[in-house]
Amino acid sequence: MNIKQAATDHPILGLLAERWSPCGFEDRPVPEADLRSLFEAARWAASSYNEQPWNYLVATKENVTEFGRLLSCLVEANQAWAKAAPVLVLGVVSLRFARNQKDNRAAVHDLGLAAGNLVVEATARGLSVHQMIGLLPDKAREVYQIPEHFEAWTAMAIGYKADPATLPDALKERDLSPRQRKPLSKFVFTGQWGQPSPFALQRDP
């Protein structure tokens, strides 16, 4: 098994087990048809009241100026590796319902659902996505004139993962480290906080 394949305690879809977030990307473009399908997958995510509060700013390496503008909206530590990705994306969320201008407490959750759809679609197409919270929202607002009540919340690097052997040592170590997750008993509770649900303690036959 690939060292990055999830060693799951219970059966899950293969695409979910395969998905991981590389820091190294190959220097080759992502076909526009694939990009359309990734955002089509995001389009069909569930959202509160079908509000669809997500918006995306996208830049590809083919357009050097636009790529540089979007890259500048990431924190320096993320710029260091994300500059190798062929596609960069800012996820912008509307924090108010368009229907009544009230605060939308589900907006960030729904942006995450859209990203989840996008990531699974990317994995099915042999692409990798590295999501980031390390960005500069104020810089993004200035660069892209993002309107009031909208905020750049996350970023994504999209492309084909590179062979870790070709990466600098720090990135190589990150991309070769086995994936780990908390067991279900640590976050699935019943009865009271911190009390594991009985099913979360069981093993599959």
In sequence order, what DSSP letters do the residues of 141-171 get, joined into one string?
Answer: HHHHTPPTTEEEEEEEEEEPBPPGGGS-HHH
Would you report the helix, strand and coil content of the chain in percent, each value rounded to 5?
40, 20, 45
Cα gap 50→41, rounded to integer Å: 15
Assess contact for 155 and 135: CB atoms under 8 A. Answer: yes
Collapse the DSSP code of 73 into the 3-class scheme (helix H, G, I; strand E, B; otherwise coil) and give the result: coil
What pLDDT score was predicted for residue 2? 67
Domains of the chain by residue range: 14-163
* Residue with the two structure tokens 């999830």: 6
pLDDT in tens, 120-173: 999 999 999 999 999 999 999 999 999 999 999 999 999 999 998 888 888 888
pLDDT in tens, 11-39: 999 999 999 999 999 999 999 999 999 99
Element (H, E) at 131: strand 128-132
What pLDDT score was predicted for residue 96? 97
Mean pLDDT of the chain: 95
Write down the H helix ranges in 92-195.
Answer: 107-124, 137-144, 169-176
Residue 31 has a CB neighbour count (10 Å cut-off) of 11
Q: What is the CATH number of domain 14-163?
A: 3.40.109.10
pTM: 0.94
Tell me: pLDDT of 108 over 70.
Answer: yes
Element (H, E) at 128: strand 128-132
Assess contact for 51 and 110: CB atoms under 8 A. Answer: yes
Q: How far is CA 6 from the centre of its chain?
A: 17
Nearest Cα residue to 175 out of 109, 81, 110, 101: 81
